[in-house]
Amino acid sequence: MNMKKLAFIMAIVMTLMVSACTKTPEEPETTRFSILGDSYSAFKGYVQPDSNDVYHYENIGVTGPEQMWWSQVANSKGWILEKNNSFSGALVCNYDYVNYYGQYSFIRRMDNLGHPDVIFIFGATNDAYAHSDGNLYDPVVSLGDYVYSDWTEEQLCDFRPALAYLFDQLKSLYPNAKLYFLLDMNLGTGGVTEQRRAEFLESIQRISHHYHVDCINLWNISKSQWHPNAEGQKNIADQVLEYLASDEI
């Protein structure tokens, strides 16, 4: 083999070696997010499963899904909605206050969120408002004790143990997902005592801290008929986006 031919072969070998060692930059994957929520997030035609109860937002001026807080967040961030498992009227805990909603609690739906990178948990309002005997503002859901393991079925009918169980299981079911709890700081106002409102807020923040779940505190949400109207949905989206920006997500 002459020197020119050998040099040519060596040049080809070196080129192949360099190509093999050079990594082609991968396109960044689009973040996928899911929602575990109640009526604040439940828009007709945009919940999964589609048998979930929704809220009639057209009655308060929210006429399209693009006005919902989650749609505005998705559009701003370039994210994709993986699954919106929101059920109007649902509680976090299993308390069955009108022989219906208990079976659709957050902890009974939490295993149906797809494969998200981010999970927004938006609830607790109905736990604070839960009622019986036709009295909308008779708060019968017990806060219960702070329980962080070995939960009983009876304890899961109380708010604090149920929320702890929810966080514990979500972290197990979706170990690679980032969790955010959206907290309406006006929770329970106008219908329950200030003491009960304060106890719910303190409970949520304490349990969130225990499980290292980010808690996004939402203020001054514009509402009609106790639900975020078009302006309120934007209030929520703006505050969520502001928090995400500070969290570098």
Compute the radius of gyration of the chain from its Cα atoms.
24
Question: Mean pLDDT over residues 14-38, rounded?
Answer: 66
User: What is the span of the domain harbouring residue 241?
Assistant: 29-246
pLDDT-derived band of residue 16, with 50, 70 and 90 as boundaries? very low
92 falls within a domain: yes
Q: Supply the CATH number for residue 84's domain.
A: 3.40.50.1110
87 falls within a domain: yes
If one compares 194 and 10, the residue with the highest pLDDT of the two is 194
94 falls within a domain: yes
Q: What is the pLDDT of residue 249?
A: 57
Domain tally, the chain:
1
42 falls within a domain: yes
200 falls within a domain: yes
- How far apart (Å, rounded) are the C-alpha atoms in residues 55 and 46? 11
* Least-confidence region, from 11-20, 82-91, 172-181, 226-235: 11-20
192 falls within a domain: yes
If one compares 5 and 170, the residue with the highest pLDDT of the two is 170
Three-state SS for the chain is: CCHHHHHHHHHHHHHHHHHHHCCCCCCCCCCEEEEEECCCCCCCCCCCCCCCCCCCHHHHCCCCHHHCHHHHHHHHHCCEEEEEEECCCCCCCCCCCCCCHHHHCHHHHCCCCCCCCEEEEECCHHHHHCCECCECCCCCCCCCCCCCCCCCCCHHHCHHHHHHHHHHHHHHHCCCCEEEEEEECCCCCCCCCHHHHHHHHHHHHHHHHHCCCEEEEECCCCEECCEECHHHHHHHHHHHHHHHHHCCC
**Quick one: how far is CA 139 from the chain centroid?**
24
If one compares 11 and 249, the residue with the highest pLDDT of the two is 249
- Cα distances (angstroms) measured from residue 98 to each of 50, 134, 141, 161: 22, 9, 12, 21
Question: Mean pLDDT over residues 198-227, rounded?
Answer: 95
16 falls within a domain: no
Q: What is the pLDDT of residue 9?
A: 46
pLDDT of 6 above 50: no
Question: Mean pLDDT over residues 9-27, rounded?
Answer: 46
160 falls within a domain: yes
**Are 41 and 69 within 8 A, CB to CB?**
yes
pLDDT of 8 above 60: no
pLDDT of 246 above 70: yes
Q: What is the pLDDT of residues 121-150, one digit of tens each?
A: 999 999 988 764 445 555 578 999 999 999
Q: What is the pLDDT of residues 49-96, one digit of tens each?
A: 999 999 999 999 999 999 999 999 999 999 999 999 999 999 999 987
Q: What is the pLDDT of residue 24?
A: 46
Q: What is the pLDDT of residues 156-211, one digit of tens each?
A: 999 999 999 999 999 999 999 999 999 998 876 666 778 888 999 999 999 999 99
